[in-house]
Amino acid sequence: MLPKLFLERMKKLLGEEYPAFLEAFSMESRRGLRVNTIKADAETFVKEGYFSLERVPWTEDGFYIEGADKPGKSPLHAAGVYYMQEPSAMAPAVFLKVHPGDRVLDLCAAPGGKTTQLAAAMQGEGILVSNEIHPARAQILSENVERMGLGNVIVTNETPERLAAVFTGYFDKILVDAPCSGEGMFRKSEEACEEWSVENVALCAKRQDGILDCAARMLRPGGKMVYSTCTFAPEEDEGTVSRFVKRHPDFSIEPVEQREGFLCGQGKWVENPADGVENTVRLMPHRIKGEGHYFAVLQREGECDYLPKAGNGMEKGLPAQEYSLFSAFREQYLSNWTASGIYLRYGEQLYLGMEGMPALKGIRALRPGLHLGAFKKNRFEPSHALALALKPEEAKQKVNLTFAEAEQYIGGQTVSVNTQAKGWCLACVAGYSLGWGKITGTVMKNHYPKGLRI
Active-site amino acid positions: 230
DSSP 358: B
Of 399, 382, 396, give the one whose Cα is nearest residue 449. 382
Of 215, 435, 205, 220, give the one whose Cα is nearest residue 307. 220
Question: Do β-strands 103-106 and 171-177 pair in parallel, antiparallel, or remain unpaired?
Answer: parallel
CB-based contact 180:240 (threshold 8 Å): no
DSSP 395: B
Question: Do β-strands 103-106 and 127-131 pair in parallel, antiparallel, or remain unpaired?
Answer: parallel
CA distance 211 to 219: 13
CA distance 365 to 353: 12
For the chain, how many residues are written? 454
Of 115, 231, 223, 132, give the one whose Cα is nearest residue 172. 223
| CA neighbours closer than 13 Å in the CB half-sphere of residue 257 | 8
Enumerate the β-bridge partners of residue 33.
63, 84
Which of left, alpha, beta for 336 (phi over 0: left; psi -120 to 50: alpha)? left
Of 416, 404, 390, give the one whose Cα is nearest residue 336. 390
Q: How far is CA 189 from the centre of its chain?
A: 21
3-class SS at 129? strand
Enumerate the β-bridge partners of residue 264.
281
Q: Note if the bond before 92 is cis, omega within 30 degrees.
A: no
CA distance 122 to 227: 19
* φ, ψ (nearest 5 deg) of residue 293: -150, 160
Q: b/e per residue, 378-397, with b = 16+ CB within 10 A?
A: eebbbbbbbbbbbbbebbbb
Q: How far is CA 179 from the centre of its chain?
A: 15
Question: Do β-strands 293-300 and 219-229 pair in parallel, antiparallel, or remain unpaired?
Answer: antiparallel
Helix (H) or strand (E) holding 401: strand 398-401
